[in-house]
Amino acid sequence: MSHSFKAAVLKAPNPAHPYAEHKPLSLETVSVPAPADGEVLVKIAAASLCRSDLSVINGVRAWPMPIVPGHEASGTVVETGPGVTAVGNGDPVVLVYQPQCGTCPACLEGEAHLCGPGLAANRKGELLSGGTRLSLKGSPVHHHMGLSAFAEYALVSEKSVVPVPRDLPLDIAALFGCAVMCGAGTVLNTGAIKAGDTVVIAGAGGVGLSALLGARAAGASRIIAIDPDPAKLEHAKRLGASDTINSGDRRAAAEVLELTSGGVDIAFETAGKLGAFEIAYDSARRGGTVVSVGLVDPKTPFQLDVAALVTGAKTVKGSYVGSCNPRTDIPRFIAMHQRGLLPVEELITHRMPLADVNVALDRMEDGTAIRQILTP
């Protein structure tokens, strides 16, 4: 049996501000068929807004249109297609925006975040099982990252969900789908930081503050948060930053070198801005590591002084989905949360109905929100 429900549809990218006025997303009644082989229907409990959603809406990154965005969410499985084994009806789940096919070379190597078929399906705006399922007045609508969670329901591959404990509130569970994997996951997996390491977090938004929590949990001896927004630096301080530097009015990297006598062991770019990457790069000590996780505008390449890279013996890494294997890392991070080591609920600054999603976009754009929970 097919299902009809409300979803926030983006018909074409629109960078016009304020979003609340221009309303790039409109709530429409969309339909999906019953789940096919390996697919599940999830009733969305909470979706949160991530900065990379903005790049879908304003067109900085090209996606097939029309599309229903939303890639950080949780819910309850309400219907399963034939052959589904990972979850059953009534199971609480977090949605995962990088589906893992389980059989490609990356998946077999244990690098589920690099799953080739998963990435290919995402780029086409399709499900891992092939094609689109969403439709609006009979015309196809694309899936964002195999999820399209700004909606009352999401029809997804069973390889796009990970079950979560029943006692974990679903609004908190949603954060594990992107903010926690990209932030804490980047620090713990890609950065593989050791207790006692010194760390720079360049960008104190949702991913940056999540990275900060990961660095704190791992026992970093010094965590220097850098951002142009004093309110975000305050937030970083509350979550355990040992130092904060306002990059708006100071030469941040020079200050880091001074504070740490030559730079930090690991510097993370968590803002999706070229300026933040430059600060992170310049803040790492000789022999140190630079990890970039934000999605910088693809039209702004970084000029690399290769000779300085060599003499500085730096390592530069990109981190996609925090190098996570969602099936093993999400339960690990939830267990850390339940032990009080990753208080990710501290990232939530706003809650509102899904109908107010355009207002939420403005808050994300102007930097007044960290994580906003949208409830359908």
Query: Cβ closer to Zn ion: 48 or 358?
Result: 48
* CA 300/CA 26 separation, integer angstroms: 31
The CA angle 158-162-163, to the nearest 5 degrees, is 110
Task: Give min distance, CB of 106 to Zn ion, in A.
Answer: 5
Please, are residues 288 and 263 in contact by the beta-carbon 8 Å criterion? yes
**Under rule CB under 5 A, residue 107 binds Zn ion:** yes
Query: Cβ closer to Zn ion: 337 or 371?
Result: 371
**Under rule CB under 5 A, residue 74 binds Zn ion:** no
Query: Cβ closer to Zn ion: 107 or 344?
Result: 107
From 10, 50, 170, 354, residue interacting with Zn ion (rule: CB under 5 A): 50
**Under rule CB under 5 A, residue 293 binds Zn ion:** no
Which part of the chain contacts Zn ion (CB under 5 A), choosing from 26-34, 107-115, 121-129, 237-245? 107-115
Task: Give min distance, CB of 107 to Zn ion, in A.
Answer: 3
From 293, 287, 315, 279, select the one nearest 200 (Cα to Cα). 279
**Under rule CB under 5 A, residue 104 binds Zn ion:** yes
**Under rule CB under 5 A, residue 115 binds Zn ion:** yes
**Under rule CB under 5 A, residue 295 binds Zn ion:** no
Task: Give min distance, CB of 48 to Zn ion, in A.
Answer: 9
**Under rule CB under 5 A, residue 358 binds Zn ion:** no
**Under rule CB under 5 A, residue 101 binds Zn ion:** yes
From 149, 178, 223, 347, residue interacting with Zn ion (rule: CB under 5 A): 178
Query: Cβ closer to Zn ion: 69 or 191?
Result: 69
Residue type, 230: P
Query: Cβ closer to Zn ion: 107 or 184?
Result: 107
Which part of the chain contacts Zn ion (CB under 5 A), choosing from 43-51, 81-89, 275-283, 358-366? 43-51
Q: Which residues does 170 contact at the CB level (< 8 Å), separation at least 6?
A: 45, 46, 74, 75, 76, 92, 164
Query: Cβ closer to Zn ion: 156 or 220?
Result: 156
Query: Cβ closer to Zn ion: 85 or 103?
Result: 103
**Under rule CB under 5 A, residue 27 binds Zn ion:** no
Total residues at interface with Zn ion (CB under 5 A):
7
Which part of the chain contacts Zn ion (CB under 5 A), choosing from 99-107, 146-154, 240-248, 322-330? 99-107
From 52, 132, 325, 358, residue interacting with Zn ion (rule: CB under 5 A): 52
What long-range pairs does 326-330 form, CB within 8 A, spacing at least 24?
326/96, 326/98, 326/100, 326/112, 326/113, 326/162, 326/181, 327/100, 327/112, 327/162, 329/181, 329/185, 329/189, 330/94, 330/96, 330/162, 330/164, 330/176, 330/180, 330/181
Task: Give min distance, CB of 270 to Zn ion, in A.
Answer: 12
- Residues in touch with Zn ion (CB under 5 A): 50, 52, 101, 104, 107, 115, 178
